[in-house]
A and B are shown apart, each in its own frame.
Chain A
Amino acid sequence: MSDNFVLHSSIWREEAAESNPFVASRCFAFGYDVYGEVLPKSSWSEYMLLLFLGEKPSAEAAMLIEKLAIALANPGPREPSVRAAMNGGVGGSVDAASLIAALAVGAGQYGGSHEVALLVEAWNRLGRDLPAWCDYLSHPNRDYREDVWSPIEHPPGFDPHGVECAQPVLQSLEFLAEVSPGRNLIWLFEQRVALEQHTGLPITMSAVAAAAFADLGFSSTQAIMMYLMLRLPGAAVHAMEQEKLGWKKFPAYGQAISIDNDPGELGVPDVSRFEL
């Protein structure tokens, strides 16, 4: 047995089987016996919050993440991350690739997890201070430094192309604010109109999700991870559906693309000697 290479964790502990040191007989998450006790007694939502936050959650917190998961599960086939996954499905890519495509696209700043992360950071920094939020939303890149992430191009949590708040967003905000054990969702519900008047734009599901994560006590990184995971079901089912529908029922955008600087047709080289 080697002691040279070890992994450290304050989350997970294992007891090895007597017959094999590489097989666990018991696994513990934050001290709870996962297969002996959590599996029969806990809901999926409770277990997720345990893994992310380290404590058995309240019933209210478990309810909030459960309902948030429903709100986020399927952004629908028009949404870019789902469309990316559908590009995997239509071409018969390996299934994991469709989800990887959805994760990559859904990680962005236009409705993606990085936008949610910026908002959770703002919640942790600004709390429920309306003037501070208005100031931040007017200058979201004020403290920007060179990064793999570009400066965000719209007030985080708002639809840069929107006219009025979408009904599913409103319904989600109202319901989640009702069940949340925190006060941020309620504050967002109460201040939505003021914030929308300030930005001139309607809020989006990213804003609702971020407020929910703030109510759950998530860090920005925890919010990224959970948001990405919770939106994968839609990517999965639409990728699988598109594979069944086939390429004839998928937009062929090539015909809609035009270029300015076209060198023109130069002809196909003569390969007549190969008698193709």
Chain B
Amino acid sequence: MSIEDLQSAQDQLHSALGKAFLSERVVMRGKDLHYELGRKDWLSVMVYAITGREFSENQIRYMNFMWVATSYPDAGIWPNQATALAGTSRTTPSLSLVAGLALSEARLYGRKPDRRAMDFFYRAAAKLDQGFSLEEVIEKEIEERKVVFGYGRPLVRLDERVAHTLNVITELGLDGGRYFNLALEVHRYLKRTRGLSINIAAISASTMADMDFSTEEYQLFLTLVFVAGMVPCYLDAKGRPEGSFFPVACSNLVYSGVPERSW
């Protein structure tokens, strides 16, 4: 941008995606928030905010299931543990949930693998359209990136969410999409050749790809996906004596560094 552009942008923002005409009305992506969106469920409005598109009832029910199925109220799970530590440290409810949510944008789980799984399906489909075989696409992926995101699982081989999610997808008639079926084909190949299994990241990413979510839209949709599971972790820790959430004794800090020395 030129200096003139910056100067112009100092006091005007045109073509915004929304605006609050305070004391009058609110517009989100061309719709009146209270008249046109006000009777919808919250999740429908959330994905409308993200994509500017409206989804079928079954698609919204599926997305709702994804959120429900990831609401693990277990304080051993890393982001939940941060929320519990916030509770035991007696910080505020919002700061506690923010702490957990911020951690969810992780490398080993959460948002990074989610995006990469969806990205793989988009790239794989494009390669298939160019005439490559599925075997070629997968082997090339493993050769170049060492991994196919969404397959295997670092902590537990069998993902308990998979069966439930597959059944919901079938019940809601969302099992006919190109990317979902591609995900299953990749699973069959990796199972046969490497003993790897599809996990929830591949199922979720492929079904959301079937709904034309971009990777960024997908991440925005998932940002709050752990939050319902965090709430009980916060409340549980808050309800116990302060500082009593898995306290660590000095002797349980195992040191492996240099010996004592003088400054």
Contact = CB atoms under 8 A, between A and B. Distances in A.
A163 interface: yes
A41 B20 contact: no
A259 B251 contact: no
Nearest to B149: A146
Nearest to A101: B98
Contact of B250 (A15, A31, A146): A15
Contacts of A274: none
B11 A257 contact: no
B237 to A, nearest CB: 16
Interface residues of A, number: 56
A30 B258 contact: yes
A10 B115 contact: no
Nearest to A23: B250
A136 interface: no
Contact of A9 (B12, B18, B116, B256): B256
Given A94-B92, A96-B95, A259-B18, A8 B254 contact: yes
A257 B13 contact: yes
Q: Is the interface of B mostly helix, strand, loop or mixed?
A: mixed
B11 A256 contact: yes
A218 B19 CA distance: 44
Interface stretch (A166-174, A181-189, A229-237, A262-270): A262-270
Interface residues of B, number: 61
A257 B125 CA distance: 40
Interface string B14-50: 1111111110110101111001100000000000000
Given A100-B95, A161-B1, A14 B253 contact: yes
Nearest to B115: A146
A219 to B, nearest CB: 15
Contacts of A56: 263
A97 B263 contact: no
Contacts of A260: 14-15
Interface of A: 1-3, 5-16, 21-24, 28, 30-33, 37-38, 41-42, 54, 56, 94, 96-97, 100, 104, 145-148, 150, 160-161, 163, 253-254, 256-263, 265-266, 268
Contact of B262 (A37, A42, A256): A37
B249 A146 contact: no
Contacts, number: 152
Contacts of B145: 145
B88 interface: no
B119 interface: yes
A79 B1 CA distance: 17
A16 B263 contact: no
A268 B258 CA distance: 70
A189 B142 CA distance: 43
Contact of B257 (A10, A37, A148): A10
A205 B177 CA distance: 48
A24 to B, nearest CB: 5
Given A9-B255, A22-B247, 11 more contacts: A5-B246, A7-B252, A9-B254, A21-B251, A23-B250, A31-B261, A32-B263, A37-B263, A148-B112, A258-B15, A263-B36
